Structure 1
Amino acid sequence: MDRKKLLLAAIVVSLIGCWFIFDLGQYFTLEQAKAQQLALKDTIAAQPFTASLTYFVIYVLVTALSLPGAAIMTLLGAALFGFWWSLLLVSFASTIGATLAFLFSRYILRDWVQTKFGHRLSPINAGIKKDGAFYLFTLRLIPVFPFFLVNLLMGLTPIKTKVFYLVSQVGMLAGTAVYINAGTQLGEIETLSGIISAPVLVSLALLGVFPFVAKFVMGIVQKRRVYADWTPPEKFDQNMVVIGAGAGGLVSAYIAAAVKAKVTLIERHKMGGDCLNTGCVPSKAIIRAAHTMAEITKAKEFGITTGETHVDFKQVMQRVQNVIQKIEPHDSVERYSKLGVNCISGEARILSPWEVEVNGERITTRNIVIATGARPLVPNIPGLNEVSYLTSDSIWQLEEQPKKLLVLGGGPIGCELAQSFQRLGTQVSLVEMAEQLLIREDEEASTLVHQYLSNDGVDIKLQHKAVRFETTELEDGTRQQIAVLEHNGETVKVEFDYVMLALGRVANVQGFGLEELGITTTERGTVDVNEYLQTKYSNIFAVGDVAGPFQLTHAAAHQAWYAAVNGLFGQFKKFKADYSVLPAATYTAPEVARVGINEKEAKAQGIPYEVVRYGIDDLDRAITDSTDYGFIKVITPKGKDTILGATIVGSNAGEMLAEFTLAMRHNLGLNKILGTVHPYPTMSEATKYAAGQWKQANAPQLLLSWVEKYHAWMRQGKKPSVDKSATDQPAVLKENKDM
């Protein structure tokens, strides 16, 4: 904090200190106001302008310094100056004072608060940016709400000073009028509770419900404005039309059909979307083949001798297609038709908020769910169109194994496929512009994955950027393909047969009518939706990759529930999409699985935290399986067993993560995991041992020191007490007992 800010803060603190040191609050009580009422009236009559100005300045200072007494001054001003003149004075004085407090908070406190608590203020900042004026207006309309908190908190948000002043001026007017109306009867009021007379009570009650009424009315007004250019049909063919049959679309349609709504599902290509046809399913199938090859190469470690191994790449890829075909019935037209979904193959186009056209047929519908997914990003790199490039969509069409594969992008897709092709016998070069692979993960997790990919033979080039591609015709008629990379100002060349692009995905937002409806997109290129997954039209929703913020199959399915329920039953109750506990996994070897925040994010957000770490190399089952590598890392608040996030790196990490996900979803801490019986020997025991590490680090040392003293005292040969009743027993019984 610079000297000017320190000086200003010191002055403000000094003024507030004087208020309390000299007990100036005693002059701002109802009793004092009543006692001075007559004397002040005479002064005002003699010097009305000076009295008004003095009152105005004092009111501004009291409000600007957030001191108690503004309510008493409002009552007193009404009693002294009358309703209309005091309303004018108080209205402007309170707004100017509030704006000064707002500016103090912004100038002195905002940078510090945003740095330290920015992660907690981000939702508020987003809300203020989107609907700040209305939000502030509703707060100002409730006269019993502590206005000084509104002033200080709003200073921490992005709301503009001009907007804050104007909204406060209008918003506080009604509440001020209520207090001034009560103040005109100051002579008859004995306590502050006397303000709550029948008329005033009714006024306060109306003001209390007015924000909700105002919000409802403004919602109707806004909705009419949005829908002004459209005329709804007299009746509807469907309750819901879903565009796109990927994970988000399938689940939306399934839920709608399950609750007996009429729903149509439109898909232009293949049912199951990217996940089934070009994403999760085929990638995991080839990962399994690569894992098998890796196991064979380690056979000697288990005392098993194998013959010469050979990869039949064509057969590997055929198995990938067989796996897709085996899972296809789960997402098929036949299955969803039996569930009650009207499935249509064709290009959909949204004509109006209630009309969708497909194959020349118009369908009217109450709600529309956009689930059009995303496609691989193809960058504009010079020469790319002249070389053989692949994406996560097209790589599955390969029939011959590349000898040299260049993978651009060190995210989950790039790392998974680079390792798989390398294990199957292709020489892979993996290029990443950032300083680490899996940039969102902790450095420790990334480093371990990097190590194992390198051990498999992947040539990893970090902080390299592809600047162009070149082709050269060789003497034998073959074509040499080269990627020109830039690294620390130097040029690096890499030869390849194919280049695999794994640089992210682009949402499919064009070609089906969004532009004509004026549905906007975000900076990330996804459909702009609110917390209920609604677009600007409240009956049009978007889910999955096309909506973001996560490009995960299970995230799309998760969103689909909210879109379907909000669309079909939103007039009764709407639900905000909850992403607080959303797991994710990268299926490299070792796997990286995470839920909640990791240490990197905790540091970035300024969250006080503790790290619990358990090395899987200590786990019995991992040792027996020769998978004794990796770790579990749990983030907790200091001194608490609450799980803020968990990262697992190791074999079957994705499966092991479920216990932490369940615990976080249902607010179960590490103590609960520690108290749960796990079968032995299993990989799942690692979660219990991680909880045990937390317990050990947070053991009550003072209590244990006293327990230690107790045990020491017990070892001093203290004789046990004698049961006197035993001495009174017959001799025969004593003998029997001795036997």
Structure 2
Amino acid sequence: MKRIAILLALVVAIAAFVHFDVAQMLTLANLKAQQGAIDAAYQASPAKVAGLFVLLYVVLTAISFPGAAILTLAAGAIFGLGVGLVLSSVASTVGATLSFLSSRYLFRDAVQARFGDKLKALNAGIERDGAFYLFSLRLVPVFPFFVINLAMGLTPIRVWTFFWVSQVGMLLGTAVYVNAGTRLAEIQSLKDVASPALLLSFAALGLLPWAGRAIMNAIKRRRVYAGFSRPKRYDRNMVVIGAGAAGLVTSIIGATVKAKVTLVEAHKMGGDCLNYGCVPSKALIKSASVADTIRHADAYGIAGAEPRVDFRGVMARVRDVITKIEPHDSVERYTGLGVDVVQGYARIVDPWRVEIKCADGSVQFLTTRSIVIAAGAEPVVPPLPGLEGSGYLTSDTLWDAFSKLDRVPEKIVVLGGGAIGCELAQAMARLGGKVVQVEMAERVLASEDDDVSALAKAALEQSGIEVLTSHAAVRVEGAGDARSLIVKGPQGERTIGFDALIVAVGRKARLSGYGLEELGISTDRTVVTDEYLATEFPNIFAAGDVAGPFQFTHTASHQAWYAAVNALFGQFRKFKADYRVIPRTTYIDPEIARVGLNEREAKGQGIAHEVTIYHLDHFERAIIEGATTGFVKVLSVPGKDRILGVTIVGEHAGELLGEYVLAMKHGLGLKKIMGTIHAYPTMIEANKFAAGEWRKAHVPHRVLGFVERYHAWRRG
């Protein structure tokens, strides 16, 4: 009601100004014609005329009505330079602030709700440098002030900041018009005041803050590079350290745009994903899934049986899968694409020099315009007493260790309840191991919603895993065949014997061994970068797991584009890394896939949301497949179909999520998904049915009531 009242007041005010033809009164000719009468009135009652002038100026500015320029001239003509400048400056600022507040109250929430994801970068910039931007705009009179007032009201800039910056920023332009008004008789048109030369002068003034910022940035750069000698020429345009997902994509982008790029890798091409992570783990999970299908074949009308697991054969298949994918990331392929690949250890000597200790024992020094750090991550090993000599395994080391075994270790303990721990625990249990999973938190997959975590735990337990949440590892005891992990839970300490202990408590960025410490590059769990992925050295960038904030192969590849382009072309234009739509999948059975916010995050951040859930137990293709466990959960803006986030639990959840990733990336709502034809019967139809559930919750009952009466009338 308050918004409606304000809108009505604005409409009435504008209507009144139009009805009384105020615009015709606020002309230079009319001001000259009425100057004598106005002067007489001012001499008779100075305070009254000054008050009416300020009131008229404030109202005109507040409702964004044209005429401020004439009133500013009138201020000089009536009150003189000193008083006229004070009155018009204060009135214009107060009116502008009222216009700003009206825009904020009436429209900001709606605009931010509709376009908030697209405005994040702008909002962050305004919060950080709003005064700077506003001051620049106020100095350039070619920007209509009423547009600035309304636009700034939609941003998070503080009211006081808007007020004082507007006061200072408009002062010079106001002074020019007031001063011109003191010589009103000499002015034939407004062009005599705002001449092209004057406008250009103001524009130059508006550029002064930007020039100042550029100078300050140049000074900062000089300080950062102080003490280092810049090469006169460079061997390379870019040196990339690390040949995982981020390094491979960065180097190939550089080579594609004809830059001279050297890619340095100390171990295996393809990095963690190919050799220790995504590829081998998913190959293992597939074999485990086949074993589980055989075990439960009776659900499909086929006699079930306990599978004979040839564990050496399973691990041979894992190696074979890696071997088949290796050529995609090989030295030969990248060399053929124009990348200079060097196998060895790289160390950053200074901002433009890299030392490479090559695999053949030689040492190579390269000068380079830019450096991209893509050193990846490694498993976290907790400081657990007795762990060091226990023969523990990690997601990096278990592949070589398991490839030497003829059978699955009988007793396996998995330490950690995150995505890696859950995937490995379920796979090893399905292949025949007796698995105990230990998680210190109250839930597995603690970053997911409670219902998702509960479903994941149930799935793990159904696979035969003993899941111990709220249990902390205390120490490791014994040796050889008598090793055990001591854990402490709600019921006290417990001893768990194991043949294999897999430590999967997380991964950390690789931050040592390649010169960060010596150069003084800041680290805080990851290499510290700005929004352009640059370190404090503007020509040194980081991408992938070493930079964070996500540890996904697809995010590393995504960041690589920004790192490469900013490193090679940043002197012309830089691009901020975009993390608005980042999908993720945990490959247990059923899969858990998510993009955007979940309920836990939305509540924690105070973001208003609606929740729509479509359960798969009534979904026809899921019934056909015998895969009815799970759901599609969509978070949307209250009353709108704009998607804030989606969590899918179910078979092929990672594939189903793709439609929502596309929708969120390109601003498509649930109505668009519901209106899209999906082939029947396919799993992806679940997305359409989830959108249908949202539609049911937003049925226009009042409209349908009218429609019902219409049909009744049509029947007679």
- Name the TM-score class by shorter chain: 0.7 to 0.9
Residue 469 (structure 1) aligned to one of 464, 467, 475: 475
Q: Which moved more, 1:132-141 or 1:686-695?
A: 132-141
What is the CA distance between 1:393 and its match in structure 2? Answer: 1.6
Residue 484 (structure 1) aligned to one of 482, 487, 491: 487
Residue 359 of structure 2 is aligned to residue 361 of structure 1: no
Partner of 2:231 in structure 1? Answer: 233
What is the CA distance between 1:237 and its match in structure 2? Answer: 2.0
Distance 1:496 1:470 in 2: 10
Indicate the SS of the match to 2:526: coil
Partner of 1:667 in structure 2? Answer: 667
Q: Which moved more, 1:118-127 or 1:322-331?
A: 118-127
Alignment of 1:43-192 (within 5 A): 126-127=124-125, 131=129, 134-135=132-133, 137-142=135-140, 144-145=144-145, 171=169, 174-185=172-183
Report the RMSD for the aligned CA atoms in angstroms.
4.9
Change (3 A) 1:700 1:339: same
> Aligned partner of 1:288: which letter?
K
Contact kept, 8 Å, 1:472 with 1:480, in 2: the verdict is yes
Unaligned runs of 5+ in 1: 1-12, 717-739
Distance 1:93 1:513 in 2: 59
Alignment of 1:523-542 (within 5 A): 524-530=525-531, 532-542=532-542
Partner of 2:360 in structure 1? Answer: none
Unaligned runs of 5+ in 2: 1-5, 358-362
Residue 381 of structure 2 is aligned to residue 378 of structure 1: yes
Distance 1:304 1:184 in 2: 100
Distance 2:472 2:207 in 1: 54
Distance 2:299 2:605 in 1: 45
Change (3 A) 1:594 1:351: same
Partner of 1:219 in structure 2? Answer: 214
Instruction: Show CA shifts across 1:299-353 (max 9, x none).
Output: 2222333555333334333332222222111101011011111000112122333
Residue 610 of structure 2 is aligned to residue 610 of structure 1: yes
What is the CA distance between 1:420 and its match in structure 2? Answer: 1.4
Partner of 2:515 in structure 1? Answer: 513
| TM-score, reference length from structure 2 | 0.79
Instruction: Show CA shifts across 1:257-279 (max 9, x none).
Output: 22222211111111111111111
Alignment of 1:720-731 (within 5 A): none
Alignment of 1:692-731 (within 5 A): 692-701=692-701, 704-705=704-705, 708=708
Contact kept, 8 Å, 1:614 with 1:690, in 2: the verdict is yes
Change (3 A) 1:71 1:440: farther
Distance 2:97 2:414 in 1: 56
Distance 1:100 1:668 in 2: 35
Distance 2:201 2:445 in 1: 55
Residue 455 (structure 1) aligned to one of 459, 462, 481: 462
Distance 1:116 1:659 in 2: 20
Distance 1:320 1:492 in 2: 37
Q: Which moved more, 1:407-416 or 1:601-610?
A: 601-610
Partner of 1:9 in structure 2? Answer: none
Residue 400 (structure 2) aligned to one of 397, 401, 406: 397
Change (3 A) 1:38 1:371: same
> Aligned partner of 1:355: which letter?
R
Distance 2:554 2:634 in 1: 22
> Aligned partner of 1:334: which letter?
E
Residue 600 of structure 2 is aligned to residue 597 of structure 1: no
What is the CA distance between 1:421 and its match in structure 2? Answer: 1.7
Partner of 1:250 in structure 2? Answer: 248
> Aligned partner of 1:241: which letter?
V
Change (3 A) 1:364 1:699: same
Partner of 1:407 in structure 2? Answer: 414
Partner of 1:722 in structure 2? Answer: none
What is the CA distance between 1:689 and its match in structure 2? Answer: 2.6
> Aligned partner of 1:534: which letter?
A
Contact kept, 8 Å, 1:367 with 1:567, in 2: the verdict is yes
Residue 443 (structure 2) aligned to one of 431, 436, 443: 436
What is the CA distance between 1:295 and its match in structure 2? Answer: 0.9
Instruction: Show CA shifts across 1:430-452 (max 9, x none).
Output: 33333332223222222221211
Distance 2:262 2:167 in 1: 50
| TM-score, reference length from structure 1 | 0.77
Distance 2:638 2:192 in 1: 50
What is the CA distance between 1:652 and its match in structure 2? Answer: 0.9
Contact kept, 8 Å, 2:264 with 2:342, in 1: the verdict is yes
Partner of 1:259 in structure 2? Answer: 257
Distance 1:656 1:234 in 2: 53
> Aligned partner of 1:411: which letter?
G
What is the CA distance between 1:691 and its match in structure 2? Answer: 3.1
Distance 1:520 1:444 in 2: 39
Indicate the SS of the match to 2:594: strand
Residue 625 of structure 2 is aligned to residue 630 of structure 1: no
Partner of 2:310 in structure 1? Answer: 312
Change (3 A) 1:152 1:701: closer
> Aligned partner of 2:324: which letter?
K
Contact kept, 8 Å, 1:246 with 1:273, in 2: the verdict is yes
What is the CA distance between 1:182 and its match in structure 2? Answer: 4.4
Partner of 2:268 in structure 1? Answer: 270
Indicate the SS of the match to 2:367: strand
Distance 1:40 1:355 in 2: 78
Partner of 1:416 in structure 2? Answer: 423
Indicate the SS of the match to 1:644: strand
Distance 2:257 2:630 in 1: 45
Contact kept, 8 Å, 1:630 with 1:648, in 2: the verdict is yes
Instruction: Show CA shifts across 1:621-662 (max 9, x none).
Output: 322221122111223334444333322110111112222222
What is the CA distance between 1:612 and its match in structure 2? Answer: 3.2
Distance 2:568 2:428 in 1: 46
Indicate the SS of the match to 2:627: coil
> Aligned partner of 1:376: which letter?
P
Contact kept, 8 Å, 1:41 with 1:80, in 2: the verdict is yes
Change (3 A) 1:324 1:40: farther
Q: Which moved more, 1:607-616 or 1:175-184?
A: 175-184
Alignment of 1:524-563 (within 5 A): 524-530=525-531, 532-563=532-563
Instruction: Show CA shifts across 1:674-731 (max 9, x none).
Output: 3443333322222233333334444454555555556656667xxxxxxxxxxxxxxx
Distance 1:659 1:463 in 2: 36
> Aligned partner of 2:244: which letter?
G
Contact kept, 8 Å, 1:415 with 1:588, in 2: the verdict is yes
Contact kept, 8 Å, 1:290 with 1:421, in 2: the verdict is yes
Contact kept, 8 Å, 2:590 with 2:630, in 1: the verdict is yes
How many residues were matched structurally? 679
What is the CA distance between 1:298 and its match in structure 2? Answer: 0.3
Partner of 2:503 in structure 1? Answer: 501
Indicate the SS of the match to 1:385: coil
Q: Which moved more, 1:365-374 or 1:689-698?
A: 689-698
Distance 2:212 2:481 in 1: 71
Indicate the SS of the match to 1:347: strand
Contact kept, 8 Å, 1:242 with 1:371, in 2: the verdict is yes
What is the CA distance between 1:195 and its match in structure 2? Answer: 5.2
What is the CA distance between 1:88 and its match in structure 2? Answer: 8.6
> Aligned partner of 2:493: which letter?
V
Change (3 A) 1:279 1:82: farther
> Aligned partner of 2:552: which letter?
L
> Aligned partner of 1:513: which letter?
G
Change (3 A) 1:502 1:645: same
Distance 1:43 1:352 in 2: 77
Partner of 1:6 in structure 2? Answer: none
